[in-house]
């Protein structure tokens, strides 16, 4: 009779040990569309899968529904206080009737279920009964199609009755409740505490503009360390459901050894306190064996990874002369132990430090890339691509190093920093000759990448912060972490969406297909930004002025193109060349990718050696195939239709004790 008890005890101990194994803190998943094979989505209420999409609601009255990722998502580390950055993008359709209330993307304590009486404007997030509302922790991005102000929306009004909340709202002219596909990107950056919602749809559509709304908040103060992520929705009495067509999510919280040991120690203490004396012995023995095996496997994986990384780099550089391999000690001394006073800047992929090498005796910029999986991919991508290309308008890679868990790239030092620091610096206003030289230089770099390399290089992240300037303000394009190689005869390559909002071509944002034409779009936006001295998207701006391309096109159509030029130039420029460059910028940023020029046509047009496309007075609407729309929502009359992304109201809520 003792054996069954011992077996049960061992079973309990094994389960306890398994619970001690830490989960990965970083989470990434992608659903380009939904089908019966799609795993990892849990449905609540009337939500369910149908016709390649998630239906959050049904046609029945007072319908509510949720679709939630099946695992908890770590947001911050309770021992180290590290907080994650995360990005999620999704496309959706809201019911076209007046009785629909909208939908929300939310983060809430895990596990999370739809509360009772949460229909109507409560969007399956909160209990609508005044007698039972309890304080809760939740952050939500609401796409409201019924009522767009706190005074007219009871759901928003009720938020004001709970302490410790903050909310940012933007109201748009166009309605989401038109049965039209919409595309949203939600991004949180902990270093700036910035929670941003970006809404994209083709520019030029009447009453529908690109929008971005931001809210400053600290996730650690708003949410528990692990949360549920997903979508919720409700409607009163509508005939069509709210649908989610695609969903991508990536978080970047890194595990620390202190966190792993701390969580294991806490759980071990609970297990031992509840166990028996015999369990203590067995637990210790099994724990030792498992920890020893895990350590051995970890060392083997690290050794295999280091060997694989070395092989990847060696294959990238080949047998010829290429960038030099530095030791970690050399770069540590060059940057004075990566001291803060040597830091030149930081971005999504890492930090950049100024360094002084002794062999050779030169000044360099050392980029320290995150050792996450994403960072490793960008590191290999950058050395693979930039090691085989060389041009006067490309930042030169001098060397590299991957030791002690660090991924380091060594570049030539650019004394004037990046272009964006000069475009918006009133202490030194870039003169017209400098701006002209920068546009021509960046165009020359793209010509080399697109047409003169052995393989075509698609940069995918062309923006002012990636254009570096030397002491004479000669431009050099850098940051090839997101770049991809493709054959010259290929039209495009399908990748995960990458780049920066405002510089992403509309067809790339909708389909995920990068091409030379998407680089040309980014170049057009950068050209207009250089000429106008303003960012591509102005937040909280009047609708007609929010989008740079739309604003310039409107003035160009009214034959008032020169009125958009940076007023700090005080008209000290050549009008004919400026007008030609504005026309070329608009040509490159044309919503229809088939109408954009090649980079060689761009250079010829700027130099008056070739024509410019005759542009219509009003910006056209982009036309391309909708990749994520199910058959029931596609037009049977015309398989190609405009992807119109429109929103009537977006609410970015950070609520504590709602």
29, 68 contact by CB (below 8 A): no
Same domain, 92 and 29: yes
Task: Give the Cα separation of 535 and 84 in Å (integer).
Answer: 27
- Do 363 and 407 contact (CB within 8 A), yes or no? no
Domain presence at residue 640: no
Among residues 397, 412, 427, the one where a domain terminates is 412
Looking at the structure, tell me whether residues 333 and 433 fall in a common domain: no
* Residues contributing to the annotated binding site: 367
pLDDT of residue 178: 61
With respect to residue 266, please indicate whether it lies within any of the assigned structural domains.
yes
The 10s digit of each residue's pLDDT in 604-636 is: 999 999 999 999 999 988 765 544 333 333 333
In whole angstroms, what is the distance from residue 68 CA to residue 47 CA? 10
Residues 334 and 308 in one domain: no
b/e code 116-134 from CB counts within 10 Å (16+ = b): eebbbbbbbbbbbeeeebe
> Does one domain contain both 182 and 140?
yes
For the beta carbon of residue 1, count every other beta carbon within 10 angstroms: 4
The domain boundary residue, chosen from 373, 390, 412:
412
Q: Which residues are annotated as a binding site for ATP?
A: 367
Six-digit token string for 316: 């990238």
Where in the sequence numbering do the catalytic residues fall?
461
641 in any annotated domain: no
Last residue of some domain: 315, 340, 363? 315
Longest dimension (CA), the chain: 98
Q: Are residues 249 and 279 in the same domain?
A: no
Phi, psi of 465 (to 5 degrees): -70, -15
Q: Which residue range(s) make up the domain with 380?
A: 321-412
pTM above 0.85, yes or no: no
Q: Which of 255, 328, 247, 249 is nearest to 54 (CA)?
A: 247
Per the domain annotation, does 332 fall within a domain?
yes
Please report, for residues 170, 461, 540, 652, the alpha-carbon distance to residue 546 in angstroms, rounded to integers and kept in the order given.
13, 21, 8, 19
Give yes or no: residues 539 and 562 share one domain: yes
The confidence score (pLDDT) of residue 415 equals 92
209-228 per-residue burial string, b: 16 or more CB within 10 A, e: under 16: bbbbbbbebebbebbbbbbb
* 70 inside domain: yes
* Close Cβ partners of 395 (under 8 Å, ≥ 6 residues apart): 386, 411, 412, 414, 468, 476, 477, 478
The per-residue pLDDT for range 240-277, each reduced to its tens digit, is: 678 899 999 999 886 655 444 554 555 555 555 555 66
CA nearest to 538, candidates 587, 502, 590, 499: 502
**Distances from the Cα of 174 to the Cα of 103, 170, 171, 562, angstroms:** 16, 12, 9, 30
Q: What is the pLDDT of residue 68?
A: 95
Same structural domain for residues 516 and 617?
A: yes
Query: Does residue 613 contact residue 546 with C-beta atoms inside 8 Å?
Result: no
Rounded distance between C-alpha atoms, residue 286 and residue 292, angstroms: 10
Tell me, what's the pLDDT at 170? 55
Intervals of the chain under pLDDT 50: 1-7, 9, 17-24, 133, 147-166, 172-176, 258-260, 263, 318-320, 626-658
Q: Are residues 625 and 595 in the same domain?
A: yes
Judge contact between 254 and 24, C-beta under 8 A. no
Inside any domain, residue 642: no
| Residue 356: CATH number of its domain | 3.30.200.20
Please count the structural domains in the chain.
4
In a domain, 346, yes or no: yes
Asked if 175 and 130 sit in the same domain, the reply is yes
What CATH number is associated with residue 566?
A: 1.10.510.10
Residue 48 lies in a domain: yes
d(CA 640, CA 623): 7
Q: Are residues 122 and 153 in the same domain?
A: yes
- Distance (Å, whole) CA 252 – CA 636: 42
3-state secondary structure of 86: strand
Together in a domain, 383 and 235: no
Residues 348 and 460 grouped into a single domain: no
User: What is the domain-level CATH number for residue 140?
Assistant: 2.60.120.200
């Amino acid at each position: 009779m003792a054996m069954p008890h011992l077996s049960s005890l061992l079973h309990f101990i094994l389960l306890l040990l398994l619970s001690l194994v830490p989960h990965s803190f970083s989470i990434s998943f992608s659903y380009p569309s939904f089908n019966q094979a799609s795993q990892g989505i849990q449905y609540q209420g009337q939500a369910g899968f149908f016709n390649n999409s998630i239906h959050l609601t049904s046609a029945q009255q007072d319908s509510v529904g949720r679709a939630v990722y099946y695992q908890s998502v770590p947001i911050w580390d309770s021992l180290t206080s590290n907080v994650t950055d995360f990005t999620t993008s999704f496309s959706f359709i809201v019911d076209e009737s007046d009785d629909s209330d909208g939908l929300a993307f939310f983060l809430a304590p895990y596990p999370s279920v739809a509360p009772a009486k949460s229909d109507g404007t409560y969007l399956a997030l909160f209990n609508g009964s005044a007698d039972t509302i309890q304080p809760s922790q939740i952050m939500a991005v609401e796409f409201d199609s019924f009522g767009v102000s706190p005074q007219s929306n009871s759901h928003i009004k009720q938020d004001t009755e709970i302490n410790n909340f903050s909310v940012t709202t933007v109201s748009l002219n166009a309605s989401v409740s038109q049965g039209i596909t919409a595309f949203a990107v939600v991004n949180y950056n902990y270093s700036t505490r910035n929670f941003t919602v970006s809404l994209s749809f083709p520019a030029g559509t009447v009453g529908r503009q690109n929008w971005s709304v931001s809210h400053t908040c600290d996730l650690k103060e708003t949410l528990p360390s692990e949360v549920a992520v997903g979508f919720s929705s409700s409607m009163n009495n509508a005939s069509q459901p709210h649908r989610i067509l695609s969903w991508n999510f990536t978080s970047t919280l890194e595990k620390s050894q202190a966190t792993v040991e701390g969580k294991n120690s806490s759980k071990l203490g609970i297990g031992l306190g509840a166990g028996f004396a015999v369990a203590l012995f067995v637990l210790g023995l099994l724990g030792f064996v498992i920890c020893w095996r895990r350590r051995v496997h970890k060392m083997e994986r690290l050794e295999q990874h280091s060997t694989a990384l070395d092989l990847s780099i060696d294959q990238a550089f080949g047998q010829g002369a290429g960038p030099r391999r530095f030791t970690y000690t050399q770069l540590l001394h060059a940057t004075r132990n990566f001291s803060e006073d040597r830091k030149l800047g930081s971005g999504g992929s890492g930090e950049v430090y100024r360094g002084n090498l002794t062999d050779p005796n030169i000044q360099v910029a050392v980029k320290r890339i995150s050792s996450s999986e994403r960072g490793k991919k960008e590191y290999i991508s950058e050395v693979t691509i930039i090691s085989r290309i060389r041009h006067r308008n490309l930042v030169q890679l001098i060397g590299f190093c991957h030791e002690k868990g660090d991924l380091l790239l060594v570049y030539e030092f650019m004394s004037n920093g990046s272009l964006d620091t000069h475009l918006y610096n009133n202490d030194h206003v870039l003169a017209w000759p400098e701006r002209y030289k920068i546009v021509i230089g960046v165009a020359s770099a793209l010509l080399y990448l697109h047409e003169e390399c052995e393989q075509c290089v698609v940069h995918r992240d062309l923006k002012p912060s990636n254009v570096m300037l030397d002491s004479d303000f000669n431009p050099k394009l850098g940051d090839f972490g997101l770049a991809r190689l493709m054959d010259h005869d290929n039209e495009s390559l399908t990748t995960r969406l990458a780049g920066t909002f405002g510089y992403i071509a509309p067809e790339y944002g909708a389909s995920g297909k990068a091409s030379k034409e998407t680089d040309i779009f980014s170049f057009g936006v950068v050209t207009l930004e250089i000429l106008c001295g303003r960012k591509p998207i102005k937040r909280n701006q009047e609708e007609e002025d929010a989008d740079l391309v739309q604003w310039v096109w409107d003035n160009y159509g009214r034959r008032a193109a020169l009125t958009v030029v940076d007023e700090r130039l005080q008209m000290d420029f050549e009008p004919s060349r400026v007008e030609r460059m504005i026309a070329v910028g608009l040509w490159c940023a044309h919503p229809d990718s088939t109408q954009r020029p090649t980079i060689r046509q761009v250079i010829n047009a700027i130099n008056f050696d070739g024509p410019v496309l005759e542009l219509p007075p009003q910006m056209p609407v982009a036309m391309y195939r909708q990749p994520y729309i199910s058959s029931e929502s596609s037009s049977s009359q015309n398989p190609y239709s405009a992807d119109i992304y429109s929103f009537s109201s977006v609410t970015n809520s950070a609520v504590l004790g709602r």
